[in-house]
Amino acid sequence: MSELTHFDRNGNAVMVDVSKKGETERMAVARGVIKGNAAVFQAVKEGTVKKGDVLGVARVAGIMAAKKNSELIPMCHLLMLTSCGIEFMMHEENHSIEAVCTVKTTGKTGVEMEALTGVSVALLTIYDMCKALDKGMVIGEICLLEKTGGKSGTYRREDESDD
């Protein structure tokens, strides 16, 4: 039960054998947050309206990274994503920007890692584009919100509020 599936019985890392698994429709949603100072928050917020669309660039970066996931995470299988999108929510109260990445595939394994990678790279891109304003930004609360499909079925994160 408490075994790491990515290692064989000799402790060697392996790409898990999914050859006997059927192709099913799968979906995963991940999210994460970046917190900066007021200048960052303001610049990103204005940028989306009239100049310097930080979130637009970050969205493209996140989607492209989700597609690259299997090149980044060593034991991940390549999957053909059938859909990928990233939404951002601006939280004025604590100057944080939340990213939510939703990924779908029809395949033999799930797309949790694609969604998490998409979120991570989108947030790193925001950091990059705003770091002249605040080097102290922190990226966090990166987690899986939901997954559906596959043998292990549906997972839904219970309480988001106290990560």
Active-site residue list: 128
- Given the complex with a second copy, which of 9 and 93 has the nearer CB atom? 9
* Interface of this chain with a second copy, residues 24 to 53, rule: CB under 8 A: 25, 32, 39, 42-43, 47, 50-53
96 binds a second copy (CB under 8 A): no
* Interface of this chain with a second copy, residues 8 to 27, rule: CB under 8 A: 8, 10-19, 21, 25
User: b/e per residue, 107-116, with b = 16+ CB within 10 A?
Assistant: bbbbbbbbbb
Closest approach, Cβ 161 to a second copy, in A, equals 13
* Interface of this chain with a second copy, residues 100 to 159, rule: CB under 8 A: 104-108, 112-113, 116-117, 120-121, 124-125, 127-133, 135-144, 147, 155, 157
Q: Report the alpha-carbon distance of residue 53 to residue 32 in Å, rounded.
A: 19
DSSP 162: G
- Given the complex with a second copy, which of 95 and 107 has the nearer CB atom? 107
CB atoms within 10 A of CB 36: 24
CB atoms within 10 A of CB 67: 18
CB atoms within 10 A of CB 101: 30
Closest approach, Cβ 157 to a second copy, in A, equals 7
